Amino acid sequence: TTPTATTFTVNADVGINQPGPLSGTVYKTTAASDNNETPNRVYYSKINQPEAVPAINYIDVGSKDKQILRILALRDNLFCLKEDGIFIVTGSGPGNFSVRLLDNSAILTAPDSAVVLNNLIYCLTTQGVVSISDSGVSIVSRNIEDQIKKVTTFNYNFKNTAFGVSYESDRAYLLWLPTTKQDTVATQCFRYSTITNT
């Protein structure tokens, strides 16, 4: 019970040495945080210390109000798939990191669909299924665009249920999507072959 705003009483036996009710004083404390929530920021660690990430070690990527959805690496470049486009972070150390926009017309629509396969990134975007490399974005789902658009434009729950799988030994990208609007998990799979480009 709280007899006053600053005291409390527990009406129970609390131990052998202190039978009966327990009383005390309530102390009010306030806490504040100075954590910045910056959805477009990539932080990097100290050299050879992957768990040491100083607050000043960061790179801003694209618009400050647009979130990074996925970050994937290809060879020497880091690809940031954001709500406002695809960006590349290059450089070998803090002194020469640079960011450039690769494409702002292909926006990642299902974050878990992005995977690396054969030194390319495959994912589901506003342009359909695409492959991403250092030189740009290529659409790979043109032949099945009608089937992909059915899922992505008619209120299917695909953003949280869709996922991609990189199948290196079969040279294939597998994209799992829901089949109906009621599906709560991905129930159909589309397969893209990197050998036959189909």
Segment 139-196, tens digit of pLDDT: 999 999 999 999 998 889 899 999 999 999 999 999 999 999 999 999 999 999 999 9
Q: How many angstroms separate the Cα of 84 from the Cα of each of 92, 108, 112, 113, 122?
A: 25, 9, 17, 17, 18
Pairwise CA distance, residues 78 & 101, whole Å: 12
Mean pLDDT of the chain: 89
**112 three-state secondary structure:** helix
How big is the chain, counted in residues?
198
pTM: 0.79
pLDDT at 76: 87
Q: In which band, very low, low, confident or very high, does the pLDDT at 17 lie, cut at 50, 70 and 90?
A: low
